[in-house]
Amino acid sequence: MAKKKFSWADRQLSVEKGFVPLMNKPLSMVLCYPNSYYVAMSSLGFQSMYFHINTHPSVFCDRAVVEDNQPVLGLMTKKPIGNFDIIALSVSYELDYFNIVKMLKKAGINLYRVQRASSDPLIIIGGIAITINPAPLSRLADVFVIGDGEEVINKIIDNYIERKTRSGDDVIEKIAAVDGVYCPSVHGEKSRIKRQVVADLDKYPSQSFVITKNTDFSDKFVIEFQRGCGRRCKFCAADHIYPRPRFRSKDHILEQIEKNLKITKKVGLMGVAVMSHPHINEILNQLIDWGVKSSVSSLRIESINKEILCRLKELGQKSVTLAPETGTDRLRFSINKRFTNELLLEKTHICATLGIREIKLYFMVGLPGETENDITALYELIKECAKFKIVIKAAVNPFIPKPHTPFQLEAMDFKKSLKYKINLLKKLLRTIPCVNLSFSSIKEAYLEGLICRADAQTGENIFLKGGFVNPLRLPEYKQDEKLCFPWDIVDIT
């Protein structure tokens, strides 16, 4: 008998554990992630939205991703995305907009909103990149979700269903009336939409609903502890959009972890302030009692102490991630990151003495006010950390000015200058053993810097016309009676 040939999608599905949606429902939707399956399934936002949409009694939601040499089909249904009623896209990163274009083109869908027929699928886009600035895709999408999407998405679906059953209503007009929704065809390109914030996170679990080895998490159950931060680092758009930290309750976190213990005993705790949870000690103790292997995505420097690290080590944490950003206290304090090199060295020493094998450090180059002294100091700082005989993984990224931050109108450092600084660091750090250095692409950083602050016309030039863009040139922002900048569509007050 001939062996059955499994498709690429079937191979992914065959190793998935956890949530499986009911398919036999009246409305079909596909949630697309404009990147690979691996990246998509490593996104808690994508996973959670997939689950939440499928809890709607009338909707079956499939998933679609971008893979080389693969058609863009629903993973479960194998249907082209153009055959679904609604296409929803979850986007975290501006450079993935190019993949949105790729997905829609492969599906034969017209990129221009105004040229699509009413029989074409409704295109909804959300995610943190969109909440920062939806303008560059405003001539492509029908609907944007601004802010936390959990409460908004089901209202959009309800309005869509109502329109399907009551002919004559204009679906977009109805959807545009939902709080947190931006519909450029109704609101225009100059409007003001309040970003939505889910007050009670427990109502909407955010975790790995589908567990697979083909993710960053690798067969681990990952749960979101909290959203928002409140530290106000001057470069951080996420913090300026969601300035208040919101925590899930201890009971919710433990209940979700316990439910998934039958699938895996590996648990990831995700959030920028996991250790600031008011019941963190009780949660960690319970995880130890359950015999769980666990790790925390990143730690705040002040939360590192012997007691906490011993607990985390007992749970299996092998590395610690910190973000000093700069090499000098002067520059670090100027961007509102308030800790000293001395403190970083003290905490690195504690990690090393307690047997943590690796410390990951995130830095930026090209920050406003940076001098060459800051770069050599960055080298000195890494060198001092490495003296504690611990593996140092240092990631260096160009600073990118983001909307809604105090740096939103800063220029990016010149390419030549960024190259010089990066080469200097490479040369200086080459001699130090146990230091593993990585850099992100300057070209991509420039493109991200352009797209995140782009207006509708620039977005059309780049994505719809596929035109040449000079990332060195920002669109000119003229003051007018209502709006100053393209991202002022998003009201973060």
Residues that bind ligand SF4 (CB under 6 A): 229, 231-233, 236, 238-239, 272
Cβ 277 to ligand SF4 shortest distance, Å: 15
Q: Which of 329, 399, 317 is nearest to 360 (CA)?
A: 317
Task: Write the CB contacts of 333 (distance below 8 Å, at least 6 apart in sequence).
Answer: none
Contact 136, 451 (CB under 8 A): yes
Measured in degrees and rounded to the nearest 5, phi and psi for residue 293 equal -95, 125
Residue number with CB closer to ligand SF4 (100 or 233): 233
Q: What beta strand segments (E) does 100-243 contain?
A: 122-126, 143-145, 181-182, 193-194, 210-211, 221-224, 226-227
Please list the residues that pair with 224 across neighbouring strands.
270
Q: How far is the CB of 384 from ligand SF4 (least distance, A)?
A: 22
**What does the chain come to in residues?**
493
CB closer to ligand SF4 out of 187 and 231 = 231
Q: How far is CA 22 from CA 27, 60, 124, 183, 201, in A?
A: 12, 6, 22, 30, 25
Q: Which residue, 238 or 464, has its beta carbon nearer to ligand SF4? A: 238
What is the full DSSP assignment across 229-270? Answer: -----TT-HHHHHS-S-EE--HHHHHHHHHHHTTT-SEEEEE
Q: In this complex, which beta carbon is closest to ligand SF4, that of residue 251 or of residue 302?
A: 302
* Cβ distance to ligand SF4 smaller for residue 56 or 231: 231
In angstroms, give the least distance from the CB of 340 to ligand SF4. Answer: 16
Nearer to ligand SF4, 144 or 247 (CB): 247
| H helices, E strands: number in the chain | 18, 19
Smallest gap from Cβ 243 to ligand SF4, in A, equals 9
Closest CA to 276 of 320, 319, 227: 227
CB of 251 to ligand SF4, least distance (A): 25
Report, in Å, the least distance between residue 440 CB and ligand SF4.
16
Which H helix or E strand runs over 86? strand 86-90
Q: Is the Cα torsion angle 441, 442, 444, 449 positive or negative in sign? A: positive
Q: What is the dihedral of CA 133, 123, 66, 222, to 10 degrees?
A: 70
Closer residue to ligand SF4 (CB): 96 or 325: 325
Nearer to ligand SF4, 59 or 304 (CB): 304
Shortest spacing between CB 232 and ligand SF4, in angstroms: 6
Q: What's the min distance (Å) between Cβ of 230 and ligand SF4?
A: 7
The number of C-alpha atoms within 13 Å of 80 and in the hemisphere containing its C-beta is 12
